[in-house]
């Protein structure tokens, strides 16, 4: 069972990384299809897209097998593990992020993961995959 989780997580991370590269290739379009605010949030969060999508994939993988109230993302595990009643999923942030949410709270299937860039920009992704710039607290 753990081998299947590791294989699934690895495949999901590969898909997320390839999707991020595809988004980066498409982002060089000069035309804008969204509103001014949507374009600004997308541009500001572009560097954090890989971290946010990879974290979302890890949470989704954890939720695929069980209904967890919290999922922890940790760089010190190599495979999905249950510790202290939490599902701990392997996750390593890129250099683009100063921090990424460590413990994701899930409420009725809804969740938000935040990532802060080195430039202080705070972005988030929700369970639907929508990436937005978040207001700094």
Residues 6-58: tens digit of each pLDDT: 555 554 444 544 554 444 444 444 333 333 444 556 687 999 999 999 999 99
Q: What total number of domains does the chain contain? A: 1
Residue span of the structural domain in which 7 resides:
2-133
Residue 69 pLDDT > 60: yes
Q: How far apart are the first and last CA of the chain?
A: 41
Q: How many CB atoms sit inside 10 A of residue 61's CB?
A: 20
CB atoms within 10 A of CB 51: 27
Q: Are 77 and 35 in contact (CB under 8 A)?
A: no
Sign, CA dihedral 2-77-105-41, equals: negative
Residues whose CB falls within 8 Å of the CB of residue 135, separated by 6 or more in sequence, listed in order: 122
What gap in Å lies between CA 31 and CA 100, rounded to an integer?
31
């Amino acid at each position: 069972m753990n081998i299947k989780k590791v294989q699934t997580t690895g495949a999901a991370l590969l898909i997320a990384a390839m999707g991020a590269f595809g988004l980066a290739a498409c982002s060089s379009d000069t035309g804008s299809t969204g509103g001014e605010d949507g374009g600004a949030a997308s541009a500001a969060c572009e560097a954090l897209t890989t971290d946010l999508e990879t974290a979302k994939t890890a949470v989704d993988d954890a939720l695929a097998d069980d209904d967890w109230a919290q999922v922890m993302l940790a760089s010190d595990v190599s495979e999905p593990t249950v510790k202290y009643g939490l599902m701990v999923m392997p996750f390593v942030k890129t250099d683009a992020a100063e921090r990424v949410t460590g413990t994701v709270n899930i409420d009725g299937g809804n969740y938000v993961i935040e990532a802060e860039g080195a430039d202080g920009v705070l972005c988030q992704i929700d369970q639907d995959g929508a990436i937005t710039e978040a207001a700094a607290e």
